[in-house]
Chain A
């Protein structure tokens, strides 16, 4: 009995000492945010806050929101809004999903640099990604079967694109699902008949070009001005108002220094 009490005391002390010297921030979710932007923000934050450690897992927005609901992350990264079913799950779990807009993004349509296509309409984009159109000749391109590359189903970009560009219709059965923006850009660059979509921070991959949609391409001005049709906010989600080190990191992300990083990585700042 005494031995158990002693062990508990030792463990409690060890935990208390550890928490003083190393604060760990767990961030999970969107690949769009988590592949480049958040790691860079984390490095800058660590430089100003020695002793802070980060655990970042970028496996899709769905995993980020789920992590807030099940309490396994301090911040959930998401490139889409939480779905009503996720909010419902959060309420049931006693959590309060609070969205914080950290940057804007434009979903760029990428094709091979060798593709002669000069532009697409919103209707043509819908037709291509739903499989209504399967050959480039149907949209003014060089004849050839269209190869579609999309994100996987846990991606916020995957569901955002369905909502923004496809009238919520299903993707074509032939669409190949890839884990991240960089993989999509890479595959499109290697395939003359390929088409895919990536966040603004990933639209300069070798061998690819951005296709204007209704004459507009994603830029800081067109995204902030909401003239580009596939523009969207990106989010941190927290359980209610962030506290402690998480609140500090959110504040840093929204600060001029953080937003400068947002811009340098290729996203559109909130102001």
Chain B
């Protein structure tokens, strides 16, 4: 295929004309296809965790546990919510740089940091919940080791899976970056 033909074929008209109403619809954040899904997920989490925080004190014996244990639980839940809200903000801004290469480099850096924070956050969240629910419970040594082993194994699996997901996302962006070099 000759160069002129490449260009003339490329310039052939496409049918997908949008109406003004369709374009106006697309400008609203609430209609954004990906953000809408993330927002729904965050709303469910906020409602669920708020309900838990409102009733845990009486329903799960928060009153009988030391103040710092309650504080750790609240902190671990709030940290998780704040982290997810930051993730929403991050997904809302895929363009961050004066050109494509710069934007990609910034994207890789931010995705790496966000991935690392996600893992730390999961550790804080799991530890906070475990500490709260296991406090005041007297275990026999065998049950203690069994439970501790199970918790460590589940947490490790979660961290490995999370790490894999974020590594894959970063790797994908890095591959595009290499393509420009």
Q: Do A and B come from one complex?
A: no
